Amino acid sequence: MAVDTAPAPATPAALLDEKRTRKPIGGAVLAVIGAVIGGFALGKLGDRSVTFTLNLTLPDASWTVPAAPTVAILAALAAAAGILVAIGVPTRWFKLIMAAGATCLALSLLCWAMSQEGVVFRIESILAGALFLSLPYMFGALSGVVCERSGVINIGIEGQFLMGAFFGVLVASITGNSYAGILGAMIAGSLLTLLLAALATRYQVNQVVTGVILNLLALGFTGFMYDQLKKTPGYNNPHGVSNISSWLESIGLGFLGDIPVIGPVLFRQSIFVYVGLGLVAVIWFLLYRTRWGLRTRAVGEHPAAADSMGVNVNRLRFWNVAAAGLISGFGGAFFTIANNLAFNKNMTAGLGFVALAVMIVGRWNPLGVLAGALIFGFTTQVSRYLDTAGNSIIPGEFLQMLPYAVTLVVVAGLIGKAKAPAADGVPYNPGDK
């Protein structure tokens, strides 16, 4: 009567099996794309070349490599990674191989694009610009992380951006102080999330629907106020609002800024860059290393558990969501204050939704958000760069589609499944057991 209730111990073979990951479809797709690009490169690129420069720190340095073999080798590497993944690789190497394959593929496409006549690969400008352009995604996605980790879906990042952009520049031009403008932007963004917080926690409204409506509300409200302001004496100059001081553009950090590559990228940037990167670290630390973070994550995963331990679920959610608006409002100020631009109707142009995508691609984790925002910022930067350079082989629109396509692939689980906090979007009613 030997009764074995323990789970059957896994055999060594089974353990080996578990440690391998195989993605036949994803791998095959990568391999085929890599092979096709490599083949085309050898056939089509001829004797074109790619020129790299460090234009900001070492203007004289430049390297030129022949385009066809470079693209072909990178594409072949990507194809090889694809084949490896298709036949199976040890799980701990899986992510690395996948990332390397994707990077090689991206680099090969980039080199192809940069092989155009008269186009120079200005590494420093492109990277610095990429970091700068990743900021709205970073701020928006971080705001999303704070909300959704507490279990409230924030689909209204776009609206918070608009509010931040509008009130940021308005306050800045009234006070003549950009910092006051940023503060105004934060408060404006927070006003919108405050509404979301109240509706989501107190009135238990469908959060996705609310978010969509709040976007519309922000669009209508800022547009309405913008039109009214244009009629108001003192605000009706050609920019719509008066100009603001532009010294926010970049703050150099002395000699650090002269280091090749990383200098211009990290140490000659606008205050927005420093704040954005700082926020990534701070929010990561808060989420994973503090009491607030533990409770926040608990409330997003299993509110009833948190409630039974005396955590006031809806109060925590309320304040977290309200605070998240400060971050996305700050992100809104990017559009006007950081770029030294006047407000324009619907000037955020859907970037709030990309931020939502960045949050998902980043798996609701600040570090993932950083990586996702950089990738998206890089794509945006490259597509702009190529657009201005003219007649790129890949139409700029398709490059701009890339972030959205990547997000589709991620939510479809083709590259691992993105798992949202379990109670994300589910209202908590303490009366329910």
Partner 1 sequence: MRLELRGLTKKFGSFTADDNIDLTVEPGQIHAVLGENGAGKSTLMNMLYGILEPTSGEILIDGEPLTFSGPSDAIAAGIGMVHQHFKLVGPFSVADNVQLGREHTRGGGVLSAKAAREAVLDVSERYGLRLDPDAICEDLPVGVQQRVEIVKALSGPETELLILDEPTAVLTPAEITELLEIMRSLAASGTSILFISHKLKEVQAVADTITVIRRGKVVAELEPTASETEMASAMVGRAVTLTIDKTPAEPGEPRLEIEGLTVVNGAGVKVLDGLDLTVHSGEIVGLAGVEGNGQTELARTILGLLKPDAGQIIIDGVNVRSHTPSRRIADGLGYIPEDRGRDGVIAEFSVAENLVLNQYKDMPYAGGGVVRADAIRQRALGSIAEFDIRTQSPNELVSSLSGGNAQKVIIAREFSRPRHLLVAAQPTRGVDVGATEFIHQRLVTERDTGTGVLLISSELDEIYAMADRIAVIYNGRIVGEVAPDTPREVIGRLMVGASMEDAEHADPDEVEVTGPEAEETPAAEAAETSAPEADDTPTTDSGTSESDSNDEQSNGGDR
Partner 2 sequence: MSNDAQAPATDKSEPGPKKAPFGVVFLRYMTEANSVMVTVYSLLMAFVIGAILLIVSDEYTRSTFTYFFSRPQDAVYASRDIIYESYLAVFEGAILNLNTLDRFAAGTAELGDLLRPISETLLYATPLIFTGLAVGLAFRAGLFNIGAQGQLIFGMMGALIIGFSLDLPPIVHIPLAVAAGAIAGAAFGAVPGVLKATTGAHEVISSIMLNNIAALFLVWALSTSFLHSDTKTDLVSKSPDASATLPKLLAWLNPSLRVNLALIIGIAAAVLVWWLLSKSTFGYRIRAVGFNEHASQTAGMNIGRTYVTTMGTAGGLAGLAGAALALGVGSTGITTNTALEYGFDGITVALLGRANPAGIVAAALLFGALKAGALSAQPDVPVDISILLQAIIVLFIAAPALVRAILHLRIPRGGLVTLEAKGW
Q: Please name which of 280, 380, 261 lies closest in space to residue 327, comparing C-alpha atoms.
A: 280
* Binding-site member from 212, 251, 262, 277 for partner 2 (CB under 8 A): 212
A 10 A CB-CB count for 321 gives: 29
Give me the least distance between CB of 281 and partner 1, in Å please.
14
| CB closer to partner 1, 17 vs 249 | 17
A 10 A CB-CB count for 102 gives: 17
* Binding-site member from 229, 302, 400, 411 for partner 1 (CB under 8 A): 302
Strand 89-90 versus strand 20-21 pairing type: antiparallel
Query: Binding of partner 2 at residue 405 (CB under 8 A)?
Result: yes
Q: Which does 290 bind (CB under 5 to 8 A by kind): partner 2, partner 1, none?
A: partner 1
Helix (H) or strand (E) holding 275: helix 271-289
Q: Please name which of 427, 424, 399, 420 lies closest in space to residue 133, comparing C-alpha atoms.
A: 399
Backbone angles phi, psi at 245, to 5 degrees: -60, 140
A 10 A CB-CB count for 411 gives: 14
Query: Binding of partner 1 at residue 89 (CB under 8 A)?
Result: no
| CB closer to partner 2, 293 vs 396 | 396
Residues 353-372 that bind partner 1 (CB under 8 A): none
Give me the least distance between CB of 278 and partner 1, in Å please.
17
Query: Binding of partner 2 at residue 155 (CB under 8 A)?
Result: yes
Q: Which does 433 bind (CB under 5 to 8 A by kind): partner 1, partner 2, none?
A: partner 1
Chain centre distance of CA 202: 30
Query: Binding of partner 2 at residue 10 (CB under 8 A)?
Result: no
The CA distance from 207 to 201, in Å, is 10
Query: Binding of partner 2 at residue 390 (CB under 8 A)?
Result: no
The CA distance from 204 to 48, in Å, is 61
The CA distance from 18 to 62, in Å, is 48
Query: Binding of partner 2 at residue 150 (CB under 8 A)?
Result: no
SS3 47: coil
A 10 A CB-CB count for 286 gives: 16
Quick one: which segment of 55-63, 209-217, 269-277, 371-379 binds partner 2 (CB under 8 A)?
209-217
Q: CA separation (Å) from 85 to 21, 76, 99?
A: 7, 14, 11
Query: Binding of partner 1 at residue 88 (CB under 8 A)?
Result: no
| CB closer to partner 2, 283 vs 360 | 360
Q: Which does 69 bind (CB under 5 to 8 A by kind): partner 2, partner 1, none?
A: none
Query: Binding of partner 1 at residue 432 (CB under 8 A)?
Result: yes
Q: Which does 255 bind (CB under 5 to 8 A by kind): partner 2, partner 1, none?
A: none
* Binding-site member from 305, 393, 408, 412 for partner 1 (CB under 8 A): 305
| CB closer to partner 1, 135 vs 306 | 306
Site string for partner 2, 113-142 (x = CB under 8 A): ------------------------------
Burial class (CB in 10 A: 0-12, 13-18, 19+), 32: middle
Q: Please name which of 82, 84, 135, 87 lies closest in space to residue 108, comparing C-alpha atoms.
A: 82
Site string for partner 2, 293-332 (x = CB under 8 A): ----------------------------------------
Give me the least distance between CB of 133 and partner 2, in Å please.
16
SS3 161: helix
Query: Binding of partner 1 at residue 301 (CB under 8 A)?
Result: yes
For CA atoms 397, 398, 400, 405, give the dihedral sign.
Answer: positive
Give me the least distance between CB of 126 and partner 1, in Å please.
38
Contact in structure between 164 and 329 (CB atoms under 8 Å): yes
Residues with Cβ < 8 Å from 13, sequence gap 6 or more? none
Give me the least distance between CB of 356 and partner 2, in Å please.
7
Residues 10-29 that bind partner 1 (CB under 8 A): 18
Q: Please name which of 201, 218, 96 lies closest in space to residue 152, comparing C-alpha atoms.
A: 201
Q: Which residues lie near partner 1 (CB under 8 A)? A: 1, 3-5, 7, 18, 289-295, 297-298, 301-302, 304-312, 422-423, 430, 432-433
Q: Which residues lie near partner 2 (CB under 8 A)? A: 153, 155, 199, 202-210, 212-214, 216-217, 219-229, 231-233, 345, 350, 353-354, 356-357, 360, 395, 397-398, 400-401, 404-405, 407-408, 411-414, 420, 423-427
